[in-house]
Amino acid sequence: MTDIKKSGFWLNLLKKIANIILKSLGSKSKPQTRHQHVVPHPEGWAVKGAGNSRYTAVYKYQHDAIERAKDIARNYGSDVIIHGKDGTIRDRISFD
Task: State the greatest distance between any 2 C-alpha atoms of the chain, in Å, as a whole number.
Answer: 72
Q: Alpha-carbon distance 37 to 48, whole Å?
A: 5
pLDDT at position 26, please? 66
Picking from 61, 26, 24, the residue whose alpha carbon sits closest to that of residue 45 is 61
pLDDT at position 29, please? 55
Give the pTM.
Answer: 0.68
pLDDT at position 31, please? 62
Q: What is the mean pLDDT of each run of 10 residues along the chain (96 residues)?
A: 72 85 67 89 96 95 97 95 95 92
